[in-house]
Structure 1
Amino acid sequence: MGWKGTVRSMGAAVRAAERDAKRRQRELERQRKQYEKMQELEQSAYEVEVYENHIDVIQSLHKECSPPIDWRKIAESKAPEKPAKSNQNEKNAQLKADNYKPGFLDKLFNKEGKKRKELSQKVELAIKKDVSEYEESLSKWEEELKDWEKSVGIARSILIGEGKAKIEAIDSLDPFSEISNFGSSLVISVGENNIVEATINVHGEEIVPSEVKSLLKSGRLSVKKMPKGKFNEIFQDYVCSCVLRVSNELFSAIPDELVVVTAVDELLNTKTGHLEEAPILSACISRRTLDSLNLDTIDPSDSMDNFVHNMSFKKTKGFEAVPRVEPELLESA
């Protein structure tokens, strides 16, 4: 089995461990189909639950991760065994032909010759079936061999630190689908120091709701503009959660010990008066440090203090542009 097959086989386990917020999101999506049939108060309760679940989901992205790939095991794996030719179908058919003994009715109606001819024809068909089955198994083996050769080649290249192999593995695994579903896009690259760098465009205005939904005592829906401070705090948690999730996914995909993850968004350039993309968080994430954290209980924003990072954030103003983490700082991460 190639490395892609290994990942697919582990998918069920990942889905079983799906965090509560994501699982609840799926349940709410199913309920959405029944929305029109709900009474007004039920609709209000549903809308509030969807709103609260969305906030929970975007602040807990870091709590899930794809299974790690054991590249050393793949590199040391044995090639699939070439199938051997078999004439089992022919043997079975020939045995029936050899053991045929005409019965009373066959003799009475002179069917012995016809029966022997039919058995002989079945032997010929069995021979063709043996050939067909062998060719099919051989074709399957050739595909598995190509997959194995590619997998071993990528694994060996990754283990010696080849940047191109790292990018190929990450692109093929596509571990960032959940983040992409929220509209955030990623670009992966390898720097001159062979450190993998990821840039996330977080699209804050599109991800974090601009309104707060709650239920009044009457059970009716209340919709108010979200206070700027609350919006900024939720956005900060979302950005930091994204950075942690991307880092963890990279560590699952490649055996590196350090990665640099930078989140960018549109900020107002006060010199030009235009919105421009700029880094708002840039962090060097250490595998050892990340592994030591309890991701189920941390505050994603507070957790950035565990890493070398650049972030300028105020609850009243939100993010400000910051420089990307420089490679020379990585040794102190």
Structure 2
Amino acid sequence: MEMSWKGTLRSLEASARRSERNSQRRQRELQKRQAQYAKMEALEQAAYEVDVYNNQVDVLLSVHKECGEDIDWSSFISRAEPVQPRLSNIAEIEALTREQTFAPGLFVRLFGLENRQRKKLKAMVELARQADNDRFTQETQDWRTEHSDWQQEYSLATRIIAGEAQAKLDAIERLDPFSDIAHLGTSIKFSVGTSGVIEATLNVHGSRVVPSEIKSLLQSGKLSTKQMPISKYNEFLQDYVCSCVMRVGRELLALLPDDIVIVTAVDALLNSTTGHVEDLPVLSVVFSGQTLSRLNVEAVDPSEAMKNFTHNMVFKKASGFAPVQRVEPPSPHRV
């Protein structure tokens, strides 16, 4: 189904922002209840905290399940240029016709109302002329907005199909499909290497995002808070990182007409060479659109899913991630 030119990309932007999973809707509901937290009884507070915790876990582990619509950039090029409106005098012509064909009736002649009626009809002609002009002014303003959208989208689509690197970056910036990941604390930067492949770098800030405690309800209904075992924490972190990386890969391949993209996650790790904690790559993946399309993202384990792609990741339950090298684009490839 073809969208009208009026804000086509803006509609896609809005759609990307409206899209949310049940876990995200549940998160908003819990945030609304937060204002009532102080008024809750102790057991209600405990149940609320566990709800919030479980929802947080669900949100963090389902990042990869969201993705925007595939964009057909060639359709932007094939659409006709919006036609500039012309001034239509239809209202004025109708008013003039009424004025010129006016034939006073007996009542009007009897009470000497003909001049008043003719003046009224003449005034109606002027009002109709103004209405035509006002309508034309509004149509012109609408056309300018629509034409500006068409021009920008046509230009962007032409550049993207031509493989222009900056056009890809412009499209990512304009559509911004990663706002909910940023909300979780993950920042993303994009670049285009000499190969022309889009490369995304995520700073996942794992220690700030992934909870280190487990919250649950005791049989009494009271809150239980325990330190999460290190192996469980590391597995949680791995799934979160892989979920974010897969989400970025899916979004980029839906947004761009490319076959592959590279996504690298970095996090704070000890650099054994310098002895300092630095942001180092912990996972680097070459995502193929063809392979991604075959995955059941609703059921797949994000960490296990990495086995389907060329990737670098060193992970152990006991110690977590270790630094890795960024992957290079496979050769040969088509962008």
Smaller-chain TM-score bracket: over 0.9
Partner residue, 1:206: 208
* Deviation larger for 212-221 or 3-12: 3-12
* Deviation larger for 287-296 or 79-88: 79-88
Distance 1:13 1:283 in 2: 24
Identity %, equivalent residues: 47
Q: What are the within-5 Å matches in structure 2 for residues 156-195 of structure 1?
A: 156-195=158-197
CA contact (8 A) 1:14 1:67 kept: no
Runs of 5+ in structure 1 lacking a partner? none
Runs of 5+ in structure 2 lacking a partner? none
CA contact (8 A) 1:7 1:69 kept: no
Task: State the shift of 1:164 in Å.
Answer: 1.1
Name the CA shift for 1:40/1:263 in 2 (closer, same or farther; >3 Å): same
CA contact (8 A) 1:18 1:64 kept: yes
Task: State the shift of 1:288 in Å.
Answer: 0.3
User: Residue 91 of structure 2 aligns to a residue in which SS?
Assistant: helix
Q: What are the within-5 Å matches in structure 2 for residues 186-265 of structure 1?
A: 186-265=188-267
Task: State the shift of 1:9 in Å.
Answer: 5.8
1:79-111 deviations in whole A, cap 9, x for unaligned? 112223211211232243345444555444432
Give the letter aligned to residue 44 of structure 2: E
Distance 1:9 1:155 in 2: 14
What is the RMSD of the two structures over their aligned residues, measured on CA atoms? 2.1
Q: TM-score, normalised by structure 2?
A: 0.92
Q: What are the within-5 Å matches in structure 2 for residues 262-281 of structure 1?
A: 262-281=264-283
Q: Is residue 59 from structure 1 mapped to residue 61 from structure 2 by the alignment? A: yes
Q: What are the within-5 Å matches in structure 2 for residues 143-158 of structure 1?
A: 143-158=145-160
User: Residue 32 of structure 2 aligns to a residue in which SS?
Assistant: helix
User: Residue 267 of structure 1 aligns to a residue in which SS?
Assistant: strand
Select which of 5, 11, 22 maps to 2:8: 5
Distance 1:170 1:325 in 2: 22
Name the CA shift for 1:198/1:298 in 2 (closer, same or farther; >3 Å): same
Task: State the shift of 1:184 in Å.
Answer: 0.7
Give the letter aligned to residue 142 of structure 2: K
Q: What are the within-5 Å matches in structure 2 for residues 13-162 of structure 1?
A: 15=18, 18-103=20-105, 106-162=108-164
Give the letter aligned to residue 141 of structure 2: S
User: Residue 234 of structure 1 aligns to a residue in which SS?
Assistant: helix
Give the letter aligned to residue 166 of structure 1: K
Distance 1:14 1:139 in 2: 27
Q: TM-score, normalised by structure 1?
A: 0.93
Give the letter aligned to residue 259 of structure 1: V
Distance 1:203 1:105 in 2: 87
Task: State the shift of 1:218 in Å.
Answer: 0.5
